[in-house]
Amino acid sequence: MKKIYTHNLDNLLTASGLRITDDMVINWTLIKDWNESIRYENPDEKKAKDIFAAITDPEEGVFQWIKQHW
């Protein structure tokens, strides 16, 4: 049960028993290293846009995937 009390997205994915789709691998790769301390960093514009797109993509975005499995 303690495995779900983490900000490590790879660990959460493993604990959920779910798998990402082949089409979503690129988006997952962009956001999987996020952690709670990163929110205080100031990324360059390209990185910020890439992460935002990886999360919000209506077809293969991480947020869309989470909503489908919630």
Query: What is the predicted pLDDT for the residue at 1?
Result: 62
Tell me what pLDDT residue 55 has. 93
Q: pLDDT band for 58, please (50, 70, 90 cuts).
A: very high
pTM over 0.85: no
Going from the C-alpha of 25 to that of each of 2, 17, 53, the distances in angstroms are 26, 16, 13
Q: What are phi and psi of 6, to 5 degrees?
A: -150, 160
Residue 6 pLDDT grade (very low, low, confident, very high; cuts 50, 70, 90): confident
10-57 pLDDT, tens per residue?
888 888 888 888 888 999 999 888 878 888 888 899 998 999 999 999
Could you give the C-alpha distances from 23 to 6, 7, 41, 56, 62, in angstroms and in order? 25, 23, 28, 14, 11
**Dist CA 32 CA 27 (whole Å):** 9
